[in-house]
Structure 1
Amino acid sequence: MKVRSMLQLRPAEEDEHAAESLELNRAVANDDHLLLEELLSQERYRKCINQRSGWGVPSTPLRMAASKGHLRCLQLLLAHGAEVDSIDVKAQTPLFSAVCGRYLGCVLALLRAGADPNGNLRNSSSPVLTAAREGDAEILLQLLRHGAEVNARSKVMLWTSGVTVCSGPLYLAAVYGHLDCFRILLLYGADPNYNWPEDKASSRAVPTRKTVLEMCLRHGCSVEFIRLLIEFGANVYLPTLIIEKSTKQNEALELLLRERGCPRSLVSQCRLVIRRHLKQPPPPLIQS
C-alpha cells in the first residue's frame, strides 16, 4: 500500500514513460551504447531522455553516464538533446558527477556541450572545489579554461580547533598536498589572500578566520606552497603568527621572515598586478 500511495504522487506523464526511462538508464548503466542508440531512434524514448528514474537518488540517463564514465553513451545522449545541466535532488549536475569520478573524457564532452563549469549554485560544493581536493590537475585545468570560478567558496563552513577554515580551492589543494593544482589555481588568478577579512566589521564577526598562508603554516605544508603564495603576492604580514618550538616547517617560516624583512620592489608589485589582469594560462602539465 505504501508503494502504491507513493506512485500516486507521481505525475501522470512520468508514470506513462516510467518503463522507457528505466530502459534508457539500464542501457547506460551497462554501457550498452548500441542498445541506447537503438532506443533513442524511437520518439517514445527521446521524450523521456531527461526524466529521472531509479532507486536511491533518481537520476537522468545523462547523469548516470557521467557518474560511471560511459563516454559513448554520454555523447549519444547529448547528441539527442539531453539537458546538459540537469540536476538531481542534491543539485549535482552531470559535470559535477564526472568530476567526482575523475572521468576526463566525460568532463570535456560536457564542457564542450555548454555545461556550466561552476555546477549548480544550490550545490554545497562545486566542480573546481572537488577537482582541487582530489588533486586532478588536468580536470581542474579544463574547468578553468572553460571559465570556472577560480575562487569558488564552499557553502559548508569548516572548523578546525576553533579556527574557521577557508575551504576554497587553494586551501583544499594545499592541505591535501596537490602542488600542481595549487600552482594552476594561482596561475589562473586565485586570490593568494583568500579568506582575508575585507573590513573591520567582518574581522570582528569572525575573529578566528585564517588566510591560506596561515593555514598552510598550521598544516605543515611544504615550503613550495609558501614560496608560491609569496610569489603571487600573498600578504606576508599576517595578523598572528604563532611559532611553536616543535614546529616542523622551519624552512617555510624562515622564508616568510626573510620576505618580511625585504619588502617587494615597485617593479615586482607592478608585475603582480599585470599578471592578475592577464591571467595567462599555465604551461602544459609535466607527467611524472
Structure 2
Amino acid sequence: MDTIVLLYSQEIQHKIIAALMFGLRTHDEEERNLEIFLLRQAVLQNNDTALDEMLCQEIYKKVINCRGGWGIAGTPLHAAVSTGHLSCLQVLLAHGALVDSVDVKAQTPLFAAVRGKYLDCVLALLGAGANPNGNPCNNCSPVLTAAREGDVEILKELLQHGAEVNSRSKVLVWTSSARVSSGPLYLAAVYGHMECFKLLLLYGADPDYNCTDAKLLRSIKQPKTVLEMCFRRGCGVEYIQLLIDFGANVYLPTLIIEKSTKQNEAVELLLRERANPKALTLHCRLAVRQHLKKIDKIHRIEELEMPTRLLNFLQHKPAPSTAL
C-alpha cells in the first residue's frame, strides 16, 4: 500500500481532474479516475511488482480495462506497450486485461506495440490471442504500420499469425488526378522497404492492388496498380521485377517515360515482359500460389510434402547449387 501512496501527489490530483475534459470515456472511467491513474503510473514507471500488488485488490481489478491518460486515452495495457514495458504487459494479461481493448481512436494494444516497434510486446500480445488485424474501426492497421515503417520482423510475425496481407487504409491518397487506396505493398514500395515488399508478396499480397477490388473500382475511375505507382515514384528495377515475378498484369500500367536511367531500365524491363510470354513453369508456380492463398495456406508452403527444389521454387528462392 505504501508503494501506491508514493505514486500519488497533490499535483497529480489537479491533472486527474483536468483529464476529464478529454471526454470520450465511459461513466465508470470518469468515476474511477484515481484508480485508473494509479494503475497507469505503475505501468509507466515499469513497476511490475507494485502493479501486481494493486491488481490483487478488487478496486483495481475493476478498472484494469478502463481508459485514462493525456491525449489519446487508453487502457493500462496500451500504456504498457506504448512504452515497451513487457513485464507490466505480462502482469496485466495474467490478471485478465482484454488483449484487444481499444483507446479512443479504436487503436488496440497490438497496434500501439507495432507503432512503437516493440517486437517482444508484439509477440506477447499475439501469443495471448490478439487480433493481428487490429480493430476494424481504426483508420490504419498493424500490417499497414509495419510496412510503412519497414519493420520486417514484426511484419512477418503479423502475417504468420494470419493478418490480412492486402489490408486497406480507410484514408484515400491523392496522386495527380487519381485517388489511390494505399495498401501495405504500396507503402513498402514508396518508403523503399524492399524486404517488406518481398515479404508481402510471398504472403500473397495482390500485385495488381487497386485493380481487382470491385467495390474500389466503382469509386475510382482510373485506378493505379502498384506497378504503375512504382514507375511514378521511380522505384528501382528490382521492385518491377518482383511484381512481374509474382504475376502482376504488365498490360495495365500507363507508361510515363522519363529521362532517369533507372526509370528507363524499368520501362525496358516491362516492355520486354510484354513482348515475351511467361514460361509454363512460371504459370504453374503462380497457379499453385494462388490456390494456396485462396485456401489460406500461403504461409504454410514449407509444410508441403514435396522436394526441397520445388519448395524453393514456390517461395521464389534460388535453387541450391550442386557440388561438382
What TM-score comes out, normalization by structure 2 length? 0.80
**Runs (5+) with no aligned partner, structure 1:** 284-288
Cα distance change, pair 173–34 in 1 and its aligned pair in 2 (3 A)? same
* Map of 1:135 onto structure 2: 150
Could you report, residue by residue, the CA deviation over 1:164-190 in whole angstroms, capped at 9, with x for unpaired residues?
A: 234000000001000000111011011
* Map of 1:212 onto structure 2: 226
- How far residue 208 of structure 1 moved from its aligned partner, in angstroms, is 2.8
- Give the AA of the match of 1:67: S
* Map of 2:205 onto structure 1: 190
Cα distance change, pair 55–204 in 1 and its aligned pair in 2 (3 A)? closer
- Helix, strand or coil for the counterpart of 2:186? helix
Cα distance change, pair 18–269 in 1 and its aligned pair in 2 (3 A)? same
- How far residue 269 of structure 1 moved from its aligned partner, in angstroms, is 1.1
8 A Cα contact 2:166 2:184, kept in partner? yes
- How far residue 142 of structure 1 moved from its aligned partner, in angstroms, is 0.2
Could you report, residue by residue, the CA deviation over 1:119-155 in whole angstroms, capped at 9, with x for unpaired residues?
A: 0000000000000000000000000000000000100
Match of 2:81 among 53, 60, 66: 66
* Map of 1:77 onto structure 2: 92
1:124-273 equivalences in 2 (<5 Å): 124-196=139-211, 205-246=219-260, 248-273=262-287
- Give the AA of the match of 1:222: G
- How far residue 249 of structure 1 moved from its aligned partner, in angstroms, is 1.3
What TM-score comes out, normalization by structure 1 length? 0.90
- Give the AA of the match of 1:215: M
Larger mean CA deviation between 215-224 and 47-56 belongs to 47-56
Could you report, residue by residue, the CA deviation over 1:185-213 in whole angstroms, capped at 9, with x for unpaired residues?
A: 011011111111556x9657523320000
8 A Cα contact 1:152 1:168, kept in partner? yes
**Runs (5+) with no aligned partner, structure 2:** 1-16, 293-297, 303-324
Cα RMSD of the aligned pairs, angstroms, is: 2.6
Q: Is structure 2 residue 280 aligned with structure 1 residue 275?
A: no
8 A Cα contact 1:99 1:130, kept in partner? yes
Aligned counterparts of 2:48 and 2:263: Cα–Cα separation in 1:
53
Cα distance change, pair 4–231 in 1 and its aligned pair in 2 (3 A)? closer
Aligned counterparts of 1:12 and 1:129: Cα–Cα separation in 2:
33
Match of 2:120 among 87, 105, 109: 105
Could you report, residue by residue, the CA deviation over 1:247-269 in whole angstroms, capped at 9, with x for unpaired residues?
A: 64122111111111111133321
Larger mean CA deviation between 135-144 and 7-16 belongs to 7-16
Aligned counterparts of 1:270 and 1:9: Cα–Cα separation in 2:
53
- How far residue 273 of structure 1 moved from its aligned partner, in angstroms, is 1.3
Could you report, residue by residue, the CA deviation over 1:61-113 in whole angstroms, capped at 9, with x for unpaired residues?
A: 00100111110000110010001111111110000000000000000100110
Larger mean CA deviation between 42-51 and 235-244 belongs to 235-244
Aligned counterparts of 2:278 and 2:149: Cα–Cα separation in 1:
34
| Percent pairwise identity | 63
Aligned counterparts of 2:170 and 2:72: Cα–Cα separation in 1:
21
More relative contact order in 1 or in 2 (CA 8 Å, sep 6+)?
Answer: 1
* Map of 1:286 onto structure 2: none
- Helix, strand or coil for the counterpart of 1:249? helix
- Helix, strand or coil for the counterpart of 1:244? coil
